[in-house]
Structure 1
Amino acid sequence: MATLARAADTSNAARVLSEAVARIAGFWNLSNAQAGAILGLSAPTISRLRGGQYRLEPGSKPFELAQHLLRLFRSLDSWLGQDDLSARSWLETPNLDLGGPPIAQLATVRGLLRTSDYVDALRARV
């Protein structure tokens, strides 16, 4: 019985995170290639994810990267007051601290984590 419950939790986590990533890509106007570069997936796989025919697999690298992408989204959303246009503008504007537009940093694991940490630090200013 516990195994069945764990399988259901895993399936639900995959569905929820996959749908969240598809929505984030839409909010931020990410192309399939851009979203794929962030998650380590091909553009056709992102297209299937957006269409609901593909789910991220819990425990996989793309799943972990998607969790970090969701963290960044939530941090930006909180910091900028749920203003998607401001979030897109911030992502596309060159940032001296990050060494370029934040969106360009997201294609590497280091860049994704650094950008997330940066936004968290901005939100925590007193």
Structure 2
Amino acid sequence: MSVATAVLVGESQASRVLTEAVSKIAACWKLSNEQLGAILGLSAASVSRLRSGTFELDRTNKAFELGQYLVRLFRSLDALMGSDDQASMSWLRTVNLDLDGRPIDLIRSVKGLGEVTNYVDDFRARV
């Protein structure tokens, strides 16, 4: 196998793995197609195809990068909440005075997703 082929196989696998992770996070947090689409910058129809397995995040698109941030947020929040999905969902849907809004609403923008992710990472560092 050539190096170029190996890179393509690796990229395809990365796309599949990230797509599956994002889909599982959306299911765990009970995100609608519209909500996940807003987070990733995709249409609700594309998210529907993503969830059904007929669409994968492409490493060359912004949605892939935003998906990586979503996974980072999920992992950090999961660690902070002791793997309690209900506590994570409650935190996401409750107004946070430090962030000046509900994290679930804030992560709908690129800026908000970065700020919420950094906030959770910073909070974890203090624990």
Do these two structures clear the TM 0.5 threshold for a shared fold by scoring above it? yes
The residue number in structure 2 matching 1:94 is 95
Deviation of 1:45 (Å)? 0.6
Deviation of 1:59 (Å)? 2.1
The residue number in structure 2 matching 1:78 is 79
Q: Partner amino acid for 1:64? A: E
Deviations 1:29-55 (A, max 9, x none): 000000000000000110110010000
- What is the rounded CA distance, in whole Å, between the counterparts of 1:49 and 1:98 in structure 2? 30
| Aligned positions of 1:1-126 closer than 5 A | 1-126=2-127
Structure 1 spans left out of the alignment, 5+ residues: none
- Number of aligned positions between the proteins: 126
Structure 2 spans left out of the alignment, 5+ residues: none
Deviation of 1:121 (Å)? 1.0
- What is the rounded CA distance, in whole Å, between the counterparts of 1:44 and 1:104 in structure 2? 20
- What is the rounded CA distance, in whole Å, between the counterparts of 2:99 and 2:29 in structure 1? 19
- What is the rounded CA distance, in whole Å, between the counterparts of 2:82 and 2:45 in structure 1? 32
TM-align CA RMSD: 0.6
Structure 1 segments of 4+ aligned residues over 4 angstroms from their partners: none
Give the TM-score taking structure 2 as reference length.
0.97
Q: Partner amino acid for 2:101? A: G
Q: Partner amino acid for 2:43? A: S
Give the match's secondary structure for 1:55: coil
- What is the rounded CA distance, in whole Å, between the counterparts of 1:74 and 1:42 in structure 2? 25
- What is the rounded CA distance, in whole Å, between the counterparts of 1:44 and 1:120 in structure 2? 31
Give the TM-score taking structure 1 as reference length.
0.98
Identity %: 53
